[in-house]
């Protein structure tokens, strides 16, 4: 399963970064030159359809397509692709649901890719995981019961665990391979699974939610992949209805909601479904994630009928959250100012997404 992305480079240097051309003593190579050498085109990363000439591009994966061809035609972002220089492919396999790839990149650390689409990188995962978690949990006082849909890498769990008020966390992830791969290659993220408050359910969240008692959760976080493949149902009305049913009155949902640069129609559809389904408030927020298509990702924040939720002015600021950051690394991205700023929307989005105007 291991690929050969970095092999050519490793043949030319020793583990401590010294070069040996066979004509004399080893010479020290400055780290900037090591980076430049990693970009030599002949050091091709081979044997994955999304990796061409040592560069990964976020195009749909397909095992039947030969290497060395470029497919810049993802239906979610036709005509564009974002590329990362690959140093070494660490893992690739096909689960029952999707193709799973992990590689070491030159610029963003290790990268998790599902069906050809970047899910996270070590460098910028903080922006996504911290915002999708703390936008909802800092908007209600003392959240106690939380459900995560998807999130098999464990990083949203890691973030939830900062909240000392939380007593019970369910996570429903369909693909066990994602969990196993995260535990092996991303221990700083998968640490979330170690918390005793976490209850793991491997299975289909749509089915799981049908059996959840009404009003069980204070907050639900939907950390899904894009709505192609296994996550397709997660943007449809019946799914949002089961979410609303599983939330207590005044409970909150935070749902991954794509890019405002690429998916205004999808965002509009999701907002209008949520306005029909959630009788409290519905807001759109966004953050910057450089390795996601167009460099941004959005979140839909909804509350059920009941005590009104002021999403924009958090009532449970993380700075005051008991135990925040004690078990894991410090927060890197989220703070109260970023929270409120995330709800500021560009004019084109307000104009194009009619349901955002009121
Ligand atoms: N376009 C990519 C969206 C990925 C959202 N899910 C990421 C999972 C990280 N926990």
- Distance CA(204)–CA(97), nearest Å, equals 11
Collapsing DSSP to helix, strand or coil, 130 comes out as: helix
Read off the pLDDT of residues 155-188 as tens digits, 9 standing for 90 and up.
999 999 999 999 999 999 999 999 999 999 999 9
pLDDT at 329: 84
pLDDT of residue 39 exceeding 50, the answer is: no
Helix extents (H) in the chain: 7-12, 31-38, 125-137, 155-160, 176-185, 187-190, 205-210, 237-246, 264-277, 336-341, 347-352
- Distance CA(130)–CA(132), nearest Å, equals 6
Paired tokens of 44:
């091709």
Q: How far is the CA of 40 from the centre of ligand 1 (A)?
A: 30
Read off the pLDDT of residues 90-124 as tens digits, 9 standing for 90 and up.
999 999 999 999 999 999 999 999 999 999 999 99
Q: If residue 112 lies in a helix (H) or strand (E), which one and from where to where? A: strand 110-114
Q: Output the domain CATH number for residue 97.
A: 2.30.140.10
Question: Which residue of 129, 175, 224 sits with most ligand 1 atoms within 8 Å of its CB, as the best mutation to test the pocket?
Answer: 224
Read off the pLDDT of residues 275-332 as tens digits, 9 standing for 90 and up.
999 999 999 999 999 999 999 999 999 999 988 899 999 999 987 776 666 667 899 9
**176 and 107 housed in the same domain:** no
Angle ∠(223,171,292) on CA atoms, nearest 5: 20
210-222 burial by CB neighbour count: b if 16+ within 10 A, else e? eebeeebbbbbbb
Q: How far is the CA of 120 from the centre of ligand 1 (A)?
A: 6
Pocket flag, ligand 1, residue 124 (CB < 6 Å): no
Higher pLDDT, 39 or 266: 266
Q: How far is the CA of 226 from the centre of ligand 1 (A)?
A: 7
Residue 198 lies in a domain: yes
Residue 41 lies in a domain: no
Boundary residue ending a domain (121, 147, 181): 121
pLDDT of residue 3 exceeding 50, the answer is: no
Positions marked catalytic: 223
pLDDT of residue 231 exceeding 60, the answer is: yes
SS3 content of the chain, % helix, strand, coil (to 5): 30, 25, 45
Q: Output the domain CATH number for residue 293.
A: 3.40.50.150
In the chain, the number of structural domains is: 2
Mean pLDDT of 213-229: 92
pLDDT at 43: 41
C-alpha of 17 from chain center: 33
Domain residues for the domain of 105 are: 86-121
**154 and 194 housed in the same domain:** yes
């Amino acid at each position: 399963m291991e690929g050969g992305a970095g092999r050519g480079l490793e043949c030319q240097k020793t583990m401590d970064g010294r070069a040996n051309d066979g004509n004399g003593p080893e010479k020290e190579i400055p780290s900037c030159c090591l980076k430049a050498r990693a970009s030599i085109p002949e050091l091709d990363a081979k044997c994955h359809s999304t990796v061409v000439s040592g560069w990964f591009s976020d195009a749909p994966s397909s095992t039947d397509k030969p290497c060395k061809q470029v497919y810049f035609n993802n239906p979610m972002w036709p005509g564009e692709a974002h590329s990362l220089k690959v140093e070494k492919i660490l893992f690739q396999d096909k689960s029952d649901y999707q193709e799973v790839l992990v590689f070491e990149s030159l610029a963003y650390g290790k990268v998790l890719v599902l069906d050809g689409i970047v899910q996270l990188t070590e460098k910028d995962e903080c922006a996504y995981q911290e915002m999708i978690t703390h936008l909802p949990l800092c908007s209600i006082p003392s959240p106690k019961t939380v459900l995560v849909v998807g999130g098999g890498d464990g990083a949203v769990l890691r973030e939830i665990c900062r909240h000392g008020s939380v007593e019970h966390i369910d996570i429903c992830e369909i693909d066990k391979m994602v969990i196993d791969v995260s535990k092996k290659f991303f221990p700083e993220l998968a640490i979330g699974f170690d918390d005793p408050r976490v209850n793991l359910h491997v299975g289909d969240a749509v089915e799981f939610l049908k059996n959840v008692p009404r009003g069980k959760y204070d907050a639900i976080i939907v950390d899904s992949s894009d709505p192609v493949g296994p996550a397709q149902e997660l943007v449809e009305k019946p799914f949002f209805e089961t979410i609303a049913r599983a939330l207590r009155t005044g409970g909150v949902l935070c749902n991954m909601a794509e890019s405002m640069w690429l998916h205004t129609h999808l965002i509009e559809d999701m907002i209008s479904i949520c306005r029909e389904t959630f009788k409290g408030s519905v807001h759109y927020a966004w953050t910057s994630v450089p390795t996601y298509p167009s460099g941004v990702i959005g979140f839909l924040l909804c509350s059920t009928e009941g005590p009104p939720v002021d999403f924009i002015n958090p009532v449970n600021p993380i700075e005051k959250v008991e135990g925040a950051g004690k078990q894991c690394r410090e927060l890197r991205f989220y703070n109260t100012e970023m929270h409120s700023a995330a709800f500021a929307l560009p004019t084109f989005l307000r104009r194009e997404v009619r349901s955002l105007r009121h």
